[in-house]
Amino acid sequence: MKPETSPQESAPPVRPAIVAVDLARRFGTLEAVRDVSMSVAQGEIFGLVGPDGAGKTTVMRMLAGVLRPDAGTIALEGIDVVGEPERAKAVLSYMPQRFGLYEDLTVDENIFFYGELFELPKAQFRERRTELLEAAGLAPFRRRLAGQLSGGMKQKLGLVCALIHTPRILLLDEPTTGVDPVSRRDFWAILYRLREQGVTIVMSTAYMDEAERCSRLALLHEGRVRCCDTPQRLKDIVRGSLLSVTGGDPRANAAALAEAPGVAGVLLMGDRVHVRVDDAARRKDELTARLDGQGLPHARVEPVEPGIEDVFVALVGAPA
């Protein structure tokens, strides 16, 4: 019989492009990051997910060699980032959360600036610029001042600048925050193409749908990695234990179910409520009856596929 794993899954692991071990960093008395370890294979799109202040930027800055860890080691393509940050800069590109564009320069001039920074040969620079501007949908705006671009366009220009020198490792800190869905699609098309070319990508994101597109995710909370796996396997943690309640007043529904037997937690998700229970199949009718009994007959209770947010809440609790 054929093995059930796909060829990709059964292939021997490739040498990790990024290996970080036991990273720690304090700011005064605040432990911003502790015991963070990660191993990222070449060609992965690895996601760092966590609430504000979880430590995403601090981890990114350490990986990029711009912030020295208090403890721990980082190897990028075998280069010791802590010991030799300058050497590491040749293989990586880092797009900070607030990327340094020159607002009073045009799109073209900004790209030229970053090309110069990396001393690219002219022909290679032009070819790369054309390709990236096309992919980002920025070709018609080459002469517009960066300061006059929309928020999403600025983010895309940041990515173009970060990619002008073809890095082996790309570190993106919340690159699509404030970017509209269409531009985010352009963004992801570029990331997928880079992955095919063997570029390793670490990105932090606040968007859960975006987290789902990553090959693996590290869920970061209060400076620690709480869980790290593929989105699919992370969702297995809560699969079969989730009910969605729709219809009626979501707040009233949530309040009516929070203390019900078998309920581990409720999470308001816009006009729905996700209810984490011990056994979804068993509790569905029970909770429907409870809502009915409390004068909330319009609510519908149905099993639902978990999202990454559900996993996060199950692991670390609901956001305050």
Q: Would you tell me how many other CB atoms lie within 10 Å of the CB of residue 55? A: 24
Interacting partner of 54 out of Mg ion, ligand ATP, none (Cβ under 5 to 8 A depending on kind): ligand ATP
The strands making up 71-76's β-sheet, listed across from edge to edge, are 30-41, 16-27, 71-76, 79-80
Rounded to whole angstroms, how far apart are CA atoms 167 and 175? 16
| Three-state DSSP state, 251 | helix
Partner whose footprint covers residue 241, from ligand ATP, Mg ion, none (CB < 5 to 8 Å by kind): none
Sign, CA dihedral 51-55-61-66, equals positive
Instruction: Write down the least CB distance from residue 29 to ligand ATP, Å.
Output: 10
**Is residue 176 a contact residue for Mg ion (CB under 5 A)?**
no
CA atoms within 13 A on the CB side of 117: 14
DSSP 22: E
Name the residue with the smallest CB distance to Mg ion.
Answer: 57
Return the one option of ligand ATP, Mg ion, none that residue 55 interacts with (CB less than 5 to 8 A, by type). ligand ATP
**Contact residues: ligand ATP, CB under 6 A:** 27, 30, 32, 50, 52-58, 97
Please work out, in degrees rounded to the nearest 5, the angle formed at the alpha carbon of residue 211 by the alpha carbons of 166 and 175. Answer: 45
Residue 55 vs 65, nearer CB to ligand ATP: 55
Minimum distance, C-beta of residue 80 to ligand ATP, in the bound complex (Å): 22
Token reading at 282: 């068993």
CA-based nearest residue to 76, from 52, 111, 103, 42: 42
- Return the percent helix, strand and coil in the chain, to nearest 5: 35, 30, 35
Tell me whether residue 31 or residue 80 sits nearer to Mg ion (CB atom): 31
Among candidates 92, 110, 90, which has minimal Cα distance to 18? 92
State the minimum distance, in angstroms, from the CB of residue 66 to ligand ATP.
11
Looking only at the bridges linking them, the beta strands covering 169-173 and 200-205 are parallel
Q: CB nearer to Mg ion: give 170 or 243.
A: 170
Which CB atom, from 98 or from 193, has the smaller least distance to ligand ATP? Answer: 98
Residue 39 interacts, among Mg ion, ligand ATP, none and using kind-specific CB cut-offs from 5 to 8 Å, with none
CB 236 within 8 A of CB 274: no
CB of 315 to ligand ATP, least distance (A): 16
Binding residues for Mg ion, total number by CB under 5 A? 3
Closer residue to ligand ATP (CB): 49 or 133: 49
Given the complex with ligand ATP, which of 301 and 311 has the nearer CB atom? Answer: 311
Q: How far is the CB of 250 from ligand ATP (least distance, A)?
A: 26
Q: Which of 17, 23, 38, 57 binds Mg ion (CB under 5 A)?
A: 57
> Cβ closer to Mg ion: 58 or 253?
58
Residues lying near Mg ion in the complex (CB under 5 A): 56-57, 97
